[in-house]
Chains A and B, each alone.
Chain A
Amino acid sequence: MISGLLGIVGLLAIDLFRVGNYGGIGPMQRLALTAAGLIVLVGLTLLPAGNRPA
C-alpha cells in the first residue's frame, strides 16, 4: 500500500516540479496512476492479513 501511495505522489510530483516534457497528466501518467491506485487497493485488502510474511 505504501509503495502504491509513494507511486501516486511521485507521478503527481512529475507535474508539480515540471520534470516531464509536457504539461498536464498524460496518457502514460494516467495509466501509471491507475496502476498505483490498484496497488493501493490490493494493499488495503491485505491489511487484515496483519504481519503474515508475504
Chain B
Amino acid sequence: MKRSWQYGLAYAVIGLAILAFVYYFIVYNIYAFALFRFPFDYEQGEGFELANVVWYSRGETPYRDSSSYPFFSTNYAPVFHLVILPLVLIFGPEYWTGRLVSYLGTLLTAAAIGYAVQRESQRWWLAAISGLAFLASNYVYHVGPIFRQHMFMVMFETLAIVWLAVTVSREEQTGQKSNRGWLIGMGLLLLAGYTKQLAYATIAAAFIFLFLRQWKRAILWAIGFILTAGAIFLLFTWITDGYWFISTVASNINRFVPGQTVALLRQFVQLHLIIVLAAAAFAVYQLYFERLSIYAIWFVLAALNGLTAGKWGAGESYYATAVAAACLVSGLAFHRLLAWGEQRAADDKPLAVGSWGMAPPILLAGIGLLYLIQADRVFHSPTHTPFLRGVAAALGKPTYAEIPPQTGCSAPQPARPVYYVDSAGVSLLGIPPTAEDAAAGREIAARVAATNTPSFSEEASFNLYNGREVITNPPYLLNLFENNLLDLTEMLDALDQQQFDTVILRSQFYPWPILQMIGQRYETQELIEMNGFVYCIMYPTQR
C-alpha cells in the first residue's frame, strides 16, 4: 500500500464504507436468526413452500388438482423444495429449514459477486464491498432469510453467470475449449430455471453472450439446453397428469398493474442509485468501446426483467437479480476507473498537485464516498435495542415508524409504533419477529388443536404446527380462478356443509365465491395479532 496522507485519507473513506456494509451484514444476521427461531409463517407464502416439501417427503408431488380436497397445488418449480427435503425428513416440517437454506444461498451469492470482482480487480476491499452491498440491499434483506425460493434462484443465476464468465475467459486465454465448463454452466442455468421460472432472463443473457463469442457452438449448446429443459418439462407433465403444466405455466399468467410497475422501478433505481448508474455506465462503455461482457448483458436483461415486478402477486424481489448484477458490474466499473487513474498517474508525476499523480487517491476517496452514499440510500435497521436505536439516531435516521396493523379481514386499527426503519418504506417484511409474535402464533395454533379438523386457513403454519393437512393455497387458487382454471364446486360444498371446524383469514386472498361462502357459513369470534397482521379466527355459524 502506498504511504502518504492522501492515500491514508482515501483508505479511511474506504474503511468507513466497509464499516457501513459490515453493519448491514450484522443487521441482516439479527433478522435472519430471529426468523430461524420463529415457528410460524412470517410471510404468507412460506408455509405453502414448506407444504410442497411435505408432499415430496410423502413420495408425492405437490402439482395436483386444486379442485378437490385438500385443494392444494403450487405454481413453483421443485429444486428449492427438493434441496430442503433431506432437512425436513430429518427434523420434520420446520420453518428454519428453508429459511436457513435461503439465507445460505444469499451468502453464496455475495461470495460469488465478491469472487468475480476480486478475480478482475485484485482489490479485496472492492470485492468485499461489492458482495456485502448485495446483502445490504433492502430487497435482499427483506426476503433473503425467509422460506421462499426466489433468492435460491438468484444464487444459481449468479453462480452460472460467474462460472461461464470464468470459463470463457480461460478458453480465450488458453485457446482450449472446455465443454465441461459449459456443461456445468448450463447445469447451473437449468437449476436456476427449475428453482423459479423467472430465471429465463439470466438464461437469455448467458446465451446472448455465448452467441456473441462463439456463435456456432452457442447454437449447438442452446439446442441441447432447450431439449434437456423441454424433456424435463414433459416428464413432469406426464408424471403429474398435466398438473405440472397448469401449475407452473397457466396459473402464472397474471394481470399487469402499470402503477405497480412504475412504482417498483422508481424505488429500485432510487434505492440502488449509485450501483445502478455505475453498472449502466459500464454497460454503455463496453457497448461502444470494447466487447460486451456477460456481466453487462446480464445486468441489462435482469433490470429489464425486473419490470415484470408489475404483475399481480409479484413484488420487489423481482429486482433481486438486477441488484446482484448491479453490485458485480459496479464493482468492475469502479475497478476500471481506478486502473485508468493509476495508469495516468504512472505516466505522470506521483502525488504532485495539478498532475495526474493525484488521480488515484482522489478516485479512491470518491469511490469510497459513492459507496457511503449508496449505504445511506438503502438504510434499514430494526431499532428494538438501545444499540441499534442509537446507531439510527446517530445517523440522523428515525428510530421508529408508525404503521397500523394489517387488517385484511377485520376493522381498521390506528397506527402504532414499530421499531424498525427502512428507506424503502416500512412494511411488515424486515421486522424481526418477537417472543410475543411466537406466543400469538401458538395461541392461534391452539384454536386449531382444540377442534377435530384441519383449519381452512389462509396460512399453512397453524395446520403444520398441529401435524394436520394443509388445506388450500389461496394466492395460487386466486390465480387459477382468474384464469378460469379452477372448479370451485367441491370447495364451496365443503364450506357450505361446514366441514372445517375453523377458518383462519388474514388478507382474504381467496376467490370471491369462497369468501362469500365463508361469510355465510362462518363467523369471526376472535382476532389475534401476529407479526403486525390481525388474524380472524372463524367458527361455523349456528344453522
Contacts and interface: CB of A to CB of B under 8 A. Distances in A.
Interface of A: 27-28, 42, 45-46, 49, 53-54
A46 B256 contact: no
Interface in B270-300: 287-288, 291-292
A54 B291 contact: yes
A27 B256 CA distance: 11
- Residue among A42, A45, A53, A54 facing the most chain B CB atoms (10 A cut-off): A54
- Residue among B258, B288, B291, B292 facing the most chain A CB atoms (10 A cut-off): B288
A49 B291 CA distance: 11
Nearest to A27: B258
B212 A28 contact: no
A contact patch SS: helix
A54 B291 CA distance: 5
B212 A54 contact: yes
The 6 closest A-B pairs by CB, nearest first: A54-B212, A54-B292, A53-B291, A54-B291, A27-B258, A28-B256
13 contacts: A27-B258, A28-B256, A42-B287, A45-B288, A46-B287, A46-B288, A49-B288, A53-B212, A53-B291, A54-B212, A54-B287, A54-B291, A54-B292
Interface in B431-479: none
Nearest to B209: A54
A30 to B, nearest CB: 11
Interface string B104-118: 000000000000000
Nearest to A35: B304
Contacts of A27: 258
B143 to A, nearest CB: 27
Nearest to A28: B256
A39 to B, nearest CB: 11
A32 B93 CA distance: 45
Nearest to B286: A54
Contacts of B256: 28
A45 B289 CA distance: 12
Contacts of B291: 53-54
A53 to B, nearest CB: 6
Nearest to A48: B288
Contacts of B258: 27
Contacts of A53: 212, 291
B414 to A, nearest CB: 38
A46 B290 CA distance: 12
B534 to A, nearest CB: 36
Contacts of B212: 53-54
Contacts of B288: 45-46, 49
A53 B212 CA distance: 8
Contacts of A45: 288
B207 to A, nearest CB: 14
A9 to B, nearest CB: 21
A44 B111 CA distance: 39
A45 B287 CA distance: 10
A8 B345 CA distance: 48
A23 to B, nearest CB: 19
Contacts of A42: 287
B396 to A, nearest CB: 39
Contacts of B287: 42, 46, 54
Interface string B207-223: 00000100000000000
A42 B286 CA distance: 13
Interface string B246-272: 000000000010100000000000000
Given A49-B288, A53-B212, A54-B291, 10 more contacts: A27-B258, A28-B256, A42-B287, A45-B288, A46-B287, A46-B288, A53-B291, A54-B212, A54-B287, A54-B292
A50 B292 CA distance: 15
A46 B256 CA distance: 34
A9 B111 CA distance: 44
Contacts of B292: 54
A54 B256 CA distance: 34
Contacts of A54: 212, 287, 291-292
Nearest to B292: A54
A46 B292 CA distance: 13
Contacts of A49: 288
Nearest to B211: A54
